[in-house]
Amino acid sequence: MKRKVYLNMRTLAEARDLFLSGFSPGNLLGEESIPSRRAAGRVTSQPVIAKISAPSFHSAAMDGYAVVAGDTFSARDERPLTMQVGTQAIAVNTGMPLPKGKNAVVMVEHVAWSEDGKEIILRAPVFPWQNVRKVGEDIVATEQVFPRNHLLAPFDLGALIASGNREIMVWQRPLVDILPTGTELVDIERIDLEHMPPGTTPESNSAVLAAMVESAGAVPRVHDIIPDDFSAIKDNIHQAAQGDAHVILVNAGSSAGSADYTVQVLEELGQVLVHGLTIMPGKPTILGVVSGKPVIGVPGYPVSAIIAMEQVVLPLLARLQARPEAPAYMVKARLSVNLPSRPGMEEFRRVIAGRVGSQIVATPVKKGAGSISTITRANAIMRIPLEAEGFEEGRIVEIELLRPWQDLEKTLVCIGSHDLSLDLISDRLKRSIPGFQMVSTHVGSMGGLLAISRGLAHMAGTHLLDPEDGSYNISYVKRFVKDKHVLLINLVYRQQGFMVAPGNPKEIKGITDLARADVVFINRQAGSGTRVLLDYELQKAGIDPDDISGYDNEEYTHMAIAVSVLSGKADAGLGILSAAKALGLDFIPVCEERYDLLVPQDALEHPVLKKLLDCLNSKGFKKDVEALGGYSTRKTGEVMWDSAQDIA
């Protein structure tokens, strides 16, 4: 099978104009009548006309006494007016019909009573129809209550019912067939997860796509997994197109791979309008038409799939229902790192954003179209234009919030070294009331120090060893974080060592074994505390880094190092005991190191940081940390150094 190349790529704007312009509610969706009580979130397909007036009778707008306004005109402070209760003045409550012949209501607060309670005393007149809701004051019978193509909000239901509309005509909800494809995919509901066949992976995209479809007011229908077989894919798309579906999503099979059949099937069954968008992620998206129905080839990588849904499918579903597209909430933020990009592709980058001081800071999460965690961790998204080569650190950029803007005020930004105990902190902050969150970006200890120096984070994790005296962090903070009042607060002491495969098949015993020809190493990135520790140990042992196979292969977290060893990509990696324990790896201790949190003094007033410090000092947190293995909390929460006092 020949590989398909992208011959008719379009920019996102071009593709949307071309694709969406061919569809509207009238040419795909029918109308249906539904009870008004269940109409919230639906869109009117016909104007809604009032069948009755609201209110349908004159009613009291206040608690008080119904009167004839003209009878009260003589009332004055100096000449109070007395009126007989039950004849001249009739007691009414708010909403009650106005008694026949009466045309005003005196508020109960504005009357006094005679001693026997049979008369009221007025010191001011009321004018005709004062404190009265007249017939049709809100809605008049035969007038238009809502126009065609109106998205009904929950409070609109009151107007529907008040105007006498038991049922209304709305556009159908689009039926969206989701066809997952891939021979390697398995349904987790139908397989023993402990004995998954080699080379298989749980099919998860359809759940995400279905939830997004439902959030857009449409009805998702997920089909069984279709193997990578041309005839099978063709049959399923044909059946869906001939059925009652309004939109068809084919997940995966949209790239240029030799086993990606979707574009060929669409060429046979209908028309391919676009194969490839100049966006990243999401480039392989296919836009086509079969039997007059839109068919979208959604990329298989999770992040690409979500981008394609957000940028093409959700706007299509909104258009079909005449619903307004959800507005983007844009804010300006300062970029915390350099962000290169490839010209000619519009890039969508998920970022973690939070308010630090008077500015919002945005830090990109790790790239990867196949990494669903880049979506789940982010709280905002940034678009890099086609013509740009990226943005430099410190640039003010526009980001679109993926969470309510109030969350920025409750977000603690942590940039620096990775540690598993940060996940425990994050969970405890989320459990607090009100719920706070901590977002952490793992750029290494030096990256964290620089972020604090530039005012781009509330906190940085650091474990930098000073080879001169064996101390941790202080000398580096003095050198790189100048003119700021900062504190080093201990998080943990932890065991660092070599993670090796279970049973230690290469019989690695220490640092000297890394130079063996049969040992492949996986390293942490330059600037990380673990890298500094490794270089220190290599120098002590007289080992040249060039003699280590894999020294230049880098990962950004301890868990990534552990995964590399577990998968066989490497024979050994330097990391923390808790990461080795989490994945069942053997561990060869090297040293105990101190891991601190670097915190600016002015950030201590941040409500989330206050909650974090409470967390550090709690017995429950310390117990949970030590249960991970390889940790000591003997100094957790203590100030190890204060730059203002310069004491160790």
Global confidence as pTM: 0.77
Which of 439, 437, 432 is closest to 410 using CA atoms?
437
Burial class (CB within 10 angstroms; exposed 0-12, middle 13-18, buried 19+) of 301: buried
Distance of CA 111 to the CA centre of its chain: 57
To the nearest 10 degrees (0 to 180), the angle between helices 607-616 and 421-431 is 120
Catalogue all structural domains in the chain, each as residue range(s) with its CATH number.
12-26+174-320 (3.40.980.10), 31-55+137-171 (3.90.105.10), 59-133 (2.170.190.11), 330-409 (2.40.340.10), 456-642 (3.40.190.10)
For 318-387, what is the HEC assignment?
HHHCCCCCCCCCEEEEEECCCEECCCCCEEEEEEEEEEECCEEEEEECCCCCCCCHHHHHCCEEEEECCC
Q: How many CB atoms lie within 10 A of CB 531?
A: 20
For residue 220, give both structure tokens.
């998702």
Can you tell me the distance from the alpha carbon of 448 to that of 450, in angstroms, rounded to the nearest whole number?
5
Residue 373 confidence (pLDDT):
57
φ, ψ of residue 543 in degrees (nearest 5): -105, 130
Q: Which of 437, 476, 468, 465 is nearest to 598 (CA)?
A: 476
pLDDT confidence of residue 223: 95
CA distance 315 to 311: 7
Q: Which of 272, 264, 274 shows the shortest CA–CA distance to 230?
A: 264
Question: How far is it, in rounded angstroms, from Cα 86 to Cα 258?
Answer: 91
Residue type present at position 201: T
Res 225: pLDDT: 93
- Residue 7 has what pLDDT? 56
pLDDT averages per 10-residue partition of the chain, 648 residues: 58 92 85 96 94 89 95 93 94 94 95 92 95 87 92 94 95 95 88 81 92 95 93 95 96 60 92 92 93 94 91 94 87 88 88 88 71 69 89 91 83 88 88 77 88 91 90 94 93 95 95 94 91 92 94 91 94 94 94 94 88 91 92 94 78
Q: Are 383 and 348 in contact (CB under 8 A)?
A: yes
Confidence at residue 564, expressed as pLDDT on a 0 to 100 scale: 95
Is residue 162 packed enough to be buried (19+ CB in 10 Å), middle (13-18) or exposed (0-12)?
middle
What is the SS3 assignment for 595?
strand
